[in-house]
Amino acid sequence: MPPAAYPAGAIVRDDVDSTWKTLRDGIDSIMTNLQQGLDLQDYMRLYTTVHNFCTSQKAVQFGTNQLGGHRGAHLLGEDLYKLLTKYLTDHLKDLAAESKTHKDEALLSFYIKEWDRYTNAAKYVHHIFRYLNRHWVKREMDEGKKNVYDVYTLHLVQWREVLFNDVSVRVMDAVLKLVEKHRNGETIEHSQIKLVVDSFISLGLDEGDSTKPTMDVYRYHFERPFIDATKVFYQEESKQFVAENSVVEYMKKAESRLAEEEERVGLYLPGDIIIPLKKACNEVLIQEHSNLLRDEFQGLLDGNKEDDMKRMYSLLSRIPQGLDPLRTKFENHVRKAGLAAVAKVASDAEKLEPKVYVDALLETHTQYRNLVKTAFNDEAEFTRSLDNACREFVNRNEVCKAGSNKSPELLAKYTDILLRKSSTGAEDNTLEETLGQIMTVFKYIEDKDVFQKFYSRMLARRLVHSNSSSDDAETSMISKLKEACGFEYTTKLQRMFQDMQISKDLNNGYKAHVAALQGSADEEGKGLDSTYSVLGTGFWPLTAPGTNFNPPQEVAKDCERFVRFYKNKHDGRKLTWLWQLCKGEVKANYVRNARMAYSFQVSVYQMAILLLFNEKDKNTYEEIAETTQLNAEALDPSLGILLKAKVLTSAGNKNGAGATYALNYDFKNKKFRVNLNVGMKSETKAEEAETNKTIEEDRKLLLQSAIVRIMKARKKMKHQQLVSETINQIRGRFVPKVADIKKCIEILLDKEYLERLEDEELGYLA
């Protein structure tokens, strides 16, 4: 009978049933006995069955029969898809029932074995139904049909819906028990957990697009319970451990546990879990015990327990704001340590050696700077705490109570000792390093203008007296100051060096000039072996002599010769002689029983006094004063040194009005070159007082300049804002007092640089 005589639906149904019977037997074999292998002939037979079944109906149009008006391939594809889905459901229900006979590790083994068998089989079945995937499944998905997947994905969906939802909780419980065993030191089969995790990840499918994997299943069914269990485990363990052990031992335990958890991720956990796992562990192991750890920090500081502080830093750095209280305690501790170190050496601030003071500051800084590097990872915030503490004990300590300028003054004096030719200075190979340490303290000095004034005066003396240990060292120090404070801070210092170089060239020319005149009939006598320094008035911190002075004839004649030479080169310039800085050397041929003539290094004032004894052996105080024209403030110290050194003698060792001085023909000294040009303490104190007075005057001018500069730019400004802005601009040189700023504002108001406006506002007057 022709095919058209049979109902079309019956033909199709018969084909579906017979086709599915063939396919089901093959799928059964794949799902249960795949380990025995799949014959290529069987595979091709199954593939061909699906292909022939779908393509044999393409040309048939069923019109209005019971299957509707769609093409047969479309309908028959749906039937095969539904039959496969039902088959997978039944298969997985059987596995779910079987799973109930297993628990713990046996359940994991069962789950892993079946998952492996199932997914491998799914790949083969997927290939067998490839034609269905390419046509019917693709059309359904393109039309936006939900719950339609390619055959491999269908396997995963069915596993998730049928088996996984039934066993996931029990499987996860078994995983957590295994992890707990591992945390307790037992050996476990890592691969089991890893394979379970991989299956959880594979089951993540986007509901809107099955081709896109998601981590939803893994996060809900694995990550969430794993993190919760981790918290519970460590909460219980840490609570018990803290109750039975010291804080230091607990930190070691916590550090060990945190490292283990990170290692665990590498062994069998996915990398994605590291962030929530760390957060959970940090919360339970550190955050919940943070107060206990912080309370221990002071004891670790007092005991200098570097390793334990490093461990505490490492732990508390893992939690938000975990280190803030430590930084505060560290700052207070360093400040107290610095103050104690200064107090230890500052029994008498007036007699305190600069080196001893600076070393005390540096010792504290070095100790805690090293601690910041090694224990606190050189962290910027701990460095800031160290800087704050150092700034406090450098500027406000026991020594500074004797005078707010003491720290910069002593630092400048120590620098002078280092850079001066002396046995107490630093060795050449360590000098640069020591200058670097000087700059470390300088960084914390608030009154940098005080340091500048003292340093400038001392540099001037070193240069004038040719007493610098090294030009390279001097240049290096100025470069360091320039880098720290800017070009303006060192302009005058650099100009001093320029003047000394110019003077060196000038002296070479002068010596050549004198040599050329030696045979001239116009030139009387032979010139002295002299050297002159011409110093710019605006750059050198030097003052005119505080006394009249009549130099010896020999000196006066040489000076006049130099003046003529200089003015011939620089007409119109005026030279002012700074006699208090002049020095020379005289030979003493009068001493009896001397193996060789003594040579005295003297100031020019002492030279003038000694040369008077070439005319007669005795001179009264009044005769010396009249001839030299020196006042008592200059004459008395000069005579006092000569008396003390026993170059001169006086009845009863008397010095001053009414005294008569005589040469000591029996003078003796271990050295044949005797330095008599030594400063008196009274001179040093007077110079310090003069320097401090200059500092105060310069500060007033600096404040006024800053105020005018600010007001010129702003035109109008509130009084309080002007004070704040002035402090901000000046604090790089020194920390100004508000009262001083207000006084300077009043001065500028009186001078009509500023005017008062309404509502406490000030205006600039051009």
Query: How many angstroms from the chain centroid is the CA of residue 317?
Result: 16
pLDDT at position 77 is 79
The yes-or-no verdict on residue 2 having pLDDT over 80 is no
Tokens of 210: 């099955």
Q: What is the pLDDT of residue 424?
A: 54
What is the structure's pLDDT at 338? 95
pLDDT score of 56 more than 90: no
Per the rule left: phi > 0, alpha: psi between -120 and 50, beta: everything else, 220 is alpha
Q: Is residue 422 part of a domain?
A: no
Residue 19 belongs to some domain of the structure: yes
Judge if 737 and 649 occupy the same domain: no
Phi, psi of 285 (to 5 degrees): -85, -25
Asked if 446 contacts 396 with a C-beta cutoff of 8 angstroms, the reply is no
Model pLDDT for residues 165-181, shown as the tens digit of each residue: 999 999 999 999 999 99
175-184, 324-333, 727-736: which has the minimum mean pLDDT?
727-736
At 537, the pLDDT band (50, 70, 90 cuts) reads confident
Q: Is the pLDDT of residue 386 over 50?
A: yes
80 has a pLDDT exceeding 90: no
Same-domain pairing of 643 and 728: no
pLDDT tens string 732-750:
777 888 888 888 888 888 8
Report the percentage of the chain scoring pLDDT > 90.
48
Mean pLDDT of 478-488: 91
pLDDT at 13: 56
Q: Please check whether residue 448 lies inside any domain of the structure.
A: no
pLDDT category at 249 given cuts 50, 70, 90 is very high
> Element (H or E) spanning 571, and its range?
none
Residue 526, classified by CB atoms within 10 Å of its CB into exposed (0-12), middle (13-18) or buried (19+), is exposed
Domain boundary among 214, 246, 274: 214
Identify whether the C-beta of residue 604 lies closer than 8 Å to the C-beta of residue 579: yes
Whether residue 696 sits in one domain with residue 662 = no
| β-sheet with 716-718: strand ranges across | 716-718, 761-764, 754-756
With beta carbons less than 8 A apart as the criterion, state whether 375 and 306 touch.
Answer: yes
Q: How far, rounded to the nearest angstrom, does the alpha carbon of residue 516 sit from its chain's CA centroid?
A: 63
Query: What pLDDT shows up at residue 14?
Result: 59
- Give the mean model confidence (pLDDT) for residues 90-113: 94
Confidence of residue 478 (pLDDT cuts 50, 70, 90): very high
* pTM of the full structure: 0.77
In a domain? residue 313: no
Q: Name residues whose C-beta falls within 8 Å of residue 27's C-beta, 6 or more positions apart in sequence.
A: 46, 84, 87, 125, 128
Q: Which structural domain range is residue 649 located in?
A: 582-679
Q: Name the phi and psi angles at 68, rounded to 5.
A: 90, -170
> Is residue 209's pLDDT more than 70?
no
Q: Whole-angstrom Cα distance, residue 648 to residue 417?
A: 31
Phi, psi of 447 (to 5 degrees): -90, 70
For residue 287, tell me if it sits in a domain: yes
- For every residue of 724-750, DSSP letters joined together read HHHHHHHTTT----HHHHHHHHHHHHH
Q: Taking residues 103-123, what's their average pLDDT?
A: 93
Residues 658 and 633 in one domain: yes
Residue 61: band (very low, low, confident or very high) from pLDDT cuts 50, 70, 90: very low
User: Band of the pLDDT at 761, cuts 50, 70, 90?
Assistant: confident
Residue 728 lies in a domain: yes
CA distance 414 to 271: 59
Whether 672 and 747 share a structural domain: no
Average pLDDT, the chain: 86
Q: Would residue 109 count as lying in a domain? A: yes
- pLDDT, tens digit, 9 for 90 and up, residues 260-313: 999 999 888 888 899 999 999 999 999 999 999 999 999 999 999 999 999 999
Other CB atoms within 10 Å distance of the CB of residue 691: 19
Q: How confident is the model at residue 73 (pLDDT cuts 50, 70, 90)?
A: very low
Percent of the chain whose pLDDT exceeds 70: 90
Helix or strand holding residue 602 (H, E): strand 598-603
Does residue 332 or residue 693 have the better pLDDT?
Answer: 332
| Residue type for position 364 | T
Q: What is the DSSP letter of 481?
A: H
Section 39-44 average pLDDT? 83
The answer on 735 and 637 residing in a single domain is no
User: For the domain that residue 756 is a member of, what is the CATH number?
Assistant: 1.10.10.10
Distance CA 523, CA 564 (A): 13
Q: Is the pLDDT of residue 611 over 60?
A: yes
Residue closest to 698 by CA, chosen among 742, 751, 734, 729? 734
- Other residues' Cβ atoms within 10 Å of the Cβ of residue 184: 9
CATH of the domain at 258: 1.20.1310.10
Give 631's contacts (C-beta < 8 A, 6+ positions apart): 546, 547, 548, 625
Give the Cα separation of 696 and 692 in Å (integer). Answer: 6
SS3 for 666-728, per residue?
A: CCCCCCCEEECCCCCHHHHHHHHHHHHHHHHHHHHHHHHHHHHHHHHHHCEEEHHHHHHHHHH
Structural domains in the chain (count) = 5
Q: Is residue 521 part of a domain?
A: yes
Domain end, chosen from 648, 679, 710, is at 679
Asked whether residue 182 falls in the same domain as residue 296, the answer is: no
**123 and 235 co-located in one domain:** no
Predicted local distance difference test score (pLDDT) of residue 66: 37
Q: What is the pLDDT of residue 683?
A: 52
Q: How confident is the model at residue 697 (pLDDT cuts 50, 70, 90)?
A: confident
Calpha distance 663→647 (Å, rounded): 6
Average of per-residue pLDDT across 722-741: 84
Q: 736 with 668, same domain?
A: no
Same domain, 289 and 150: no
535 plus 635 within the same structural domain: no
- The domain boundary residue, chosen from 518, 552, 579: 579
Distance separating alpha carbons of residues 432 and 479, to the nearest angstrom: 12
For position 596, which CATH number holds? 3.30.230.130
Q: Examine the domain organization and report whether 156 and 247 are in the same domain.
A: no
Least confident range from 44-48, 70-74, 232-236, 346-350: namely 70-74
